Amino acid sequence: MLIMTSQWLIGMVYLGAAFLLIFGLWRMSSPVTAAGGIHVAGWGMLAAVLVSFLYVFSVSEAARPQLPVNVSLALVALLLGGGMAWWSGRKAAMTAMPQMVAIYNGMGGGAAAAIAAMELFGSRVFDLSTLAGTLFGALIGAISLSGSLIAWAKLDGRLNKPLRMKGLQLINALLMLVTLSVGAWLMVVMQDAGGSLSHVLWLIGVFFGCALLFGVLMTLPIGGADMPVVISIYNAFTGLAVGLEGFVLQVPALMIAGMLVGAAGVLLTLLMAKAMNRTVVHVLFARFGDQPTRKGAVIEGELKPTAASDAGVAMRYANKVIIVPGYGLAVAQGQQKLYEFVKLLQAHGVLVRFAVHPVAGRMPGQMDVLLAEAGVPYDLIFQLEDINTDFPDTDVVLVIGANDVVNPAARSDKSSPIYGMPILDVDKAHHVYVVKRGEGKGYAGIQNQLFYGENCNMVYGDAQAVLVKMIEAVRGLA
């Protein structure tokens, strides 16, 4: 009776948790409700984790002696993992968010791979469809783990140079073929093993080793410009791996959560690829991460530096101002000063809005999170497709730390490596001020035509320091 009651309660809580996960994800689709959606989904996951302890009432007699140790280990793992996540989440700076997301996503893929390993090493999977799901979940979970760790190392500056070697794509293809062959062999052997798998444990190890190595080799050649797509791809991998292992364990909460994360990751990957003028097939298989061979046309004209105070005064007397944030703003931690400057302009009757490119920064949505952290109202933040037609009627555009996403070469120069990529039409505004530390190039490695335009001036310096000077200049006006 107790077992039936616990099973019924587990099922009901899983159903409620699934609803909270779906509802939370739906709320995350809008910046206005995203924070609340995260909390709702978090409560759902917490409920699913806690109710899982009721499985102790349905364990077999043979497993009961190990129950105290196993429950204790589970509690210790939850406390350690939760404590480390809480500490690292509060400590991480905004510029560290991409690498934190990458490594947390990798931990999810690793957890799914660990579940698969437990099932395989425990010799409990013999049904063909279940075995296939276990191995496939193990494969993509392991790839997500090792690939996300490499992405984290790149974003954190621990691996600065992409590894590119001739024939690497062929090596990766052969490695994947070997991995799949070992997986197929495992399916045959485990079907005929009759419960004794001690002689094929090494084969399981080879399978996981090949999958982990593939994730490393697939990610090493990728440069920083492709990191938003990489993160979203591995996010989809992790979700799919979790969903498959939920199927193996027959845990509805894992299946639903995994499918939601996987579907969201796939959609995000498609959006990121479109924003970079790539197809997903090209991103995954066709020279992904290679250095551009096309350098773009020669740019005529010269850069025109100006003082931060002059730029601030020009915006004070403008009617319409659009601000384009980029990764340089995150590096300088200048979002608070930026919003202070915006409120100062608004107090003088200036219409100020923000334009965000889908791949600005180093992870999807980084600029939206950066502005939200500073308290910028959501109704001032516009995406590319919603604000691009407004640039011709805008008096001043302020670009802070952005480069390739505002380069007009994407529209006009067929020899440019970014040709065809949707950009913010900043160059069509009446005047543009670009805040940059120096004359460095963007991720694409090409000069920006915008910077040499007749309507563009460069304001050199750290973004936060520049914004302080702009604020002082506007406050000094009568």
Find all residues with CB under 8 Å of 59, minimum gap 6, and list them: 67
Report, as residue numbers or ranges, the catalytic residues.
404
C-alpha angle 166-169-175 in degrees, rounded to nearest 5: 120
Q: Which of 440, 438, 430, 441 is CA-nearest to residue 463?
A: 438
Neighbours of 407 (CB within 10 A): 28
How far, in Å, CA of 444 to CA of 289, rounded?
11
Label residues 204-222 b or e (16+ Cβ within 10 Å = b). Answer: bebbbebbbbbbebbbbbb
Selection from 402, 412, 398 nearest residue 440 by Cα: 402
Helix axes 128-155, 168-191, angle to 10 degrees: 150
Report d(CA 387, CA 353) in Å as an integer. Answer: 9
- Strand order across the 381-383 sheet: 381-383, 351-356, 320-325, 396-400, 431-436, 456-460
Q: From CA 151, how far away is CA 233, in angstroms rounded?
A: 11
